[in-house]
Amino acid sequence: MKKPILYFIGILLLMVAFSLLIYPTPYRYLQYMNGGSFTQIKVNNFTGHTQRYVQETGWVDD
């Protein structure tokens, strides 16, 4: 009787840890059409800070 409860609590703790630590990644990646080519945008989900990707230099602050 005690062992199934421990398994259930362990699985529940793993699910909570996953939902808090791994799933909410800090960045969301978007693409938009800019002058006939796609431009990638990186948005920080926590602060709202945005960066765009430039091939020559990498991620540039907007």
Hey, where are the domains in the chain? 25-62
25, 14 Cβ separation under 8 angstroms: no
pTM to 2 decimals?
0.59
Q: What is the pLDDT of residue 1?
A: 62
| CA-CA-CA-CA dihedral for 32, 58, 46, 17, to nearest 10 | 110
Cα(33)–Cα(40) distance, rounded to whole angstroms? 9
13, 22 Cβ separation under 8 angstroms: no
For the chain (length 62 residues), average pLDDT per consecutive 10? 89 92 85 89 93 93 85
- Tell me how many degrees the CA angle 38-43-48 measures, rounded to the nearest 5: 140
Q: What is the pLDDT of residue 10?
A: 95
